[in-house]
Amino acid sequence: MQPIVSKDSVVYFQQECYVQLNQYLTQANHSKIFILVDSNTHEYCLSYLMSKIEGDYEIEVIEIEAGEIHKTIETCTGVWNVLSELGADRKSLMINLGGGVVTDLGGFVACTFKRGINYINVPTSLLAMVDASVGGKTGVDLGNLKNQVGVISESEMVLVDTEYLTTLPANQMRSGLAEMLKHGLIKDKAYWNKLKDLSNLTLNDLGQLIYDSVVIKNEVVLVDPTEQGLRKILNYGHTLGHAVESYYLTHPERETLLHGEAIAVGMIMEAYISAELLSLSKEQLDEIKEVILATFPKITIPDEDRKEILKLLVHDKKNSNGNINFVLLTAIGDTKIDCVVEEKLLLASFDYYLN
Ligand SMILES: NC(=O)c1ccc[n+]([C@@H]2O[C@H](COP(=O)([O-])OP(=O)(O)OC[C@H]3O[C@@H](n4cnc5c(N)ncnc54)[C@H](O)[C@@H]3O)[C@@H](O)[C@H]2O)c1
Ligand SMILES: [Zn+2]
C-alpha cells in the first residue's frame, strides 16, 4: 500500500510503518522518546510496538487512564508534569499509541509542551486509524463539551498497522465503522456501496477499506486543513451526534454510547433533515437508515431528553453568527455545508430515527 501524503505528514501502512519509523528515529536524533499509552494499549499494544523499534533509544512510557472521560485538561496536566519530571526537552519525541483519546490528547500535549515537540501517531483502534489520527486535529473535552480546547498541527507521521485491531473489542470496531460509513456518505458512493454489506467482510478487505477511508479523509484535509469550508463535511452526523454523545456522557443512567455509536444516530437524523431540506431522495434516506441500523441497534431517546440534547447544539464549533450550521447530504456521496435548520425539523428528526 502506497503511503498517503498530507500537507505536513505521511500515513504509512502495515510493515512499511516500521521501516519508516526506524529510518526516522535514526535520522532525527531525538533526546528522548516518550510513548503515551492508556491502560489498554499498555497491555495489548506496547510490547508489539517496542519489538519493532530497532536501535538503542532512551524510551519512557507514560500511561493515562482509558476512556473519553479522561480526555481532559487535568489529564494533560498530569502528562505535562511527567514529561517535565522525566526531563523532556524540545528535542524529545512523543509517540501516541492508542485510540482517538490518546492521539487527540497526546497530540495536544505534544503541540503545547515547550511550545511544541515532535509527535507520531500510532492508532490502535479502527476509529483512530480511519479518522482521529489523520488530519492534525488535536485536543481535549471541556466538561461535557467535546473537543472544545485544542490546536490543529500534524504529526510527523501516522503508522497504520491493522495487527493492533486483533485485540480491539467488537463494540469499538463498530464505533470506527461509523466514521467509515460517514466517509462514503459525504464523498464516495462507490465506497458506501462497498461498505453496505458488512456481513461479508474479511480482515483482508478491512485493510483496503481503512486505506480507502484515509484517502477520503486526506483529500478533504489537504484542500482545507483549517476547516474554512470543505473540511466541515467531515462533521456530517456530528452536529446532532455530538449533542447525543455529550448528553449521554453526563447521564450515566442512560446507556453508555461510544463516539461512533452516537455518530450513527446523528447520521440518520441528519439524513432525514437532508431529505426534508435538500435533494436527498426518500430511497437513499431509507437506505442510509437501514444500513446504519443493521450495524447500530436503535438507542432509546426519551421525549424529555430531546430539548436537553438540542440545547447542547449551541456549543457546536461549526456555529457562526448565532446560527447552528449543519452539513447535509444532497445525495449519497455529496454534501452541502452551512445549512441552517429550524428547531421543528430537528425535533422531527428524532421521530424519524425512532420510528
Ligand atoms: N482528531 C480527529 O480528527 C478526530 C476524529 C474522530 C474522532 N476523534 C476523537 O477520537 C476519540 C474516539 O476514539 P476511539 O474510539 O479510538 O476511543 P478510545 O481512544 O477511547 O479507544 C477506545 C477503547 O479501545 C481501547 N483500545 C484502543 N486500542 C486497542 C487495542 N488495539 N486493543 C484493545 N483495546 C484498545 C482504548 O483503551 C479504549 O478503551 C474521541 O475522543 C473523538 O473525539 C478525533
Ligand atoms: Zn467522529
Instruction: Give the three cell numbers for residue 92.
Output: 524529545
| Ligand with an atom nearest the CA of residue 174 | 1
* Residue 71 CB–ligand 1 contact under 6 Å: yes
* The pLDDT of residue 324: 82
> In whole angstroms, what is the distance from residue 260 CA to residue 291 CA?
14
Give residue-wise pLDDT tens across range 295-337.
Answer: 999 999 989 899 999 998 877 666 666 678 899 999 999 999 9
The residue whose C-alpha atom lies closest to atom 10 belonging to ligand 1 is 100
Do 28 and 135 lie in a common domain? yes
The answer to whether residue 234 scores a pLDDT higher than 70 is: yes
pLDDT for 156 equals: 98
pLDDT at 256: 83
| 38-77 confidence digits (pLDDT tens) | 999 999 999 999 999 999 999 999 999 999 889 999 999 9
- Do 134 and 245 fall into the same domain? no
Q: Is 174 in the pocket of ligand 1 (CB under 6 A)?
A: no
Ligand 1 atom having least distance to the Cα of 146? 43
Q: What predicted TM-score, i.e. pTM, was given to this entire model?
A: 0.94
303 class by beta-carbon count within 10 Å (0-12 exposed, 13-18 middle, 19+ buried):
exposed
Q: What is the pLDDT of residue 128?
A: 98
Q: How far is the CA of 125 from the centre of ligand 1 (A)?
A: 6
Rg (C-alpha) for the chain, rounded Å, is 20
Query: Which protein residue's CA is at the shortest distance from atom 5 of ligand 1?
Result: 132
Say how far apart CA 93 and CA 19 lie, in whole Å.
18
Which of 106, 135, 168 finishes a domain? 168
Q: Using alpha carbons, select from 180, 320, 148, 143 the residue that is nearest to residue 264.
A: 180
Atom 33 of ligand 1 has which residue's CA nearest to it?
A: 168
Ligand 1 pocket, residue 139 CB under 6 Å = no
pLDDT greater than 90 at residue 140: yes
- Phi (first) and psi of residue 320, to 5 degrees: -150, 150
Residue 197 falls inside a structural domain: yes
pLDDT confidence of residue 11: 98
Assess whether 239 and 117 both reside in one domain.
no
- The alpha carbon of 296 and the centre of ligand 1 are apart by a number of angstroms equal to 18
d(CA 165, CA 198): 17
For residue 66, report the distance from its CA to the centre of ligand 1, in Å: 9
* Residue 224 vs residues 210, 217, 227, 228, 279: alpha-carbon distances, Å: 21, 11, 6, 6, 25
Distance 134 CA to ligand 2 centre (A): 12
Domain containing 331 equals 180-354
Instruction: Yes or no: say if 222 and 7 are a contact pair by the CB < 8 Å rule.
Output: yes
pLDDT of residue 322: 66
Given a contact cutoff of 8 angstroms between Cβ atoms, the answer to whether 303 and 353 are in contact is no
Q: In this predicted structure, what is the pLDDT of residue 246?
A: 86
Question: Other C-beta atoms within 10 Å of 124: how many?
Answer: 32
Q: 81 with 118, same domain?
A: yes
pLDDT at 116: 97
Instruction: Report which protein residue has its CA nearest ligand 1's atom 11.
Output: 100
- Which residue's C-alpha comes closest to atom 4 of ligand 1? 132
Residue 175 within a domain: no
* Residue 61: Cβ within 10 Å count: 14
Last residue within a domain, chosen from 106, 139, 168: 168
The pLDDT of residue 143: 86
Q: Which atom of ligand 1 is nearest to the CA of 137?
A: 1
Does residue 245 lie within any of the structural domains? yes
Distance CA 50, CA 35 (A): 10
Q: For ligand 1, is residue 167 a contact (CB within 6 Å)?
A: yes
Q: State if residue 97 touches ligand 1 by the CB under 6 angstroms criterion.
A: no
Ligand 1 pocket, residue 262 CB under 6 Å: no
Residue 273 lies in a domain: yes
Average pLDDT over residues 277-283: 98
pLDDT band at 251 (very low <50, low <70, confident <90, very high): confident
What CATH number did the domain enclosing 306 receive? 1.20.1090.10
Instruction: Kindly state if the Cβ of 184 falls inside 6 Å of ligand 1.
Output: no
Q: CB neighbours (10 Å) of residue 3?
A: 14
Ligand 1 centroid vs 201 CA: distance in angstroms?
A: 22
> Which whole number is the average pLDDT over 108-122?
98
Q: In sequence order, which residues have a C-beta less than 8 Å from that of residue 105 and are 6 or more positions away?
A: 36, 64, 71, 75, 76, 79, 138, 139, 140
Q: How far is the CA of 127 from the centre of ligand 2 (A)?
A: 8
Across all residues in the chain, what is the average pLDDT? 94
Tell me if 246 CB under 6 Å of ligand 1: no
Q: How far is CA 128 from CA 21, 33, 97, 134, 242, in A?
A: 18, 21, 10, 8, 17
d(CA 331, CA 226): 25
Q: What is the pLDDT of residue 254?
A: 82
- Amino acid, single-letter form, for residue 329: L
Distance between CA 5 and CA 176 in Å, rounded?
A: 22
| Whether residues 226 and 339 fall in one domain | yes
CATH, residue 36: 3.40.50.1970
Beta-sheet strand order (sheet of 118-123): 4-5, 10-13, 158-160, 118-123, 93-98, 33-38, 59-64
Q: What residues does 145 pair with on adjacent strands?
A: 142
pLDDT digit string (tens) for 149-201?
Answer: 999 999 999 999 999 999 999 999 999 999 999 999 999 999 999 998 776 77
Query: Rounded to the nearest whole angstrom, what is the distance from the C-alpha of residue 322 to the centroid of ligand 1?
Result: 31
| Euclidean distance between CA atoms 315 and 240, whole angstroms | 11
Return the axis-axis angle of helices 189-196 and 170-187, rounded to nearest 10°.
150
Angle at 142 between CA 137 and CA 148, to 5 degrees: 35
Retrieve residue 27's grid coordinates: 535520522
Does the Cβ of 154 fall within 6 Å of ligand 1? no
> Is the domain of 146 the same as that of 186?
no
In short, whether 124's Cβ falls inside 6 Å of ligand 1 is yes
C-alpha cell of 325? 450550521
* Extended strands (E) in 100-152: 118-123, 140-142, 145-149
For residue 231 and ligand 1, the question of a CB distance below 6 A is answered with no
Rounded to the nearest angstrom, the gap between the alpha carbon of residue 237 and the centroid of all alpha carbons in its chain is: 13
Closest CA to 181 of 286, 267, 278, 298: 267
Q: 152: which DSSP letter?
A: B
How many structural domains does the chain have? 2
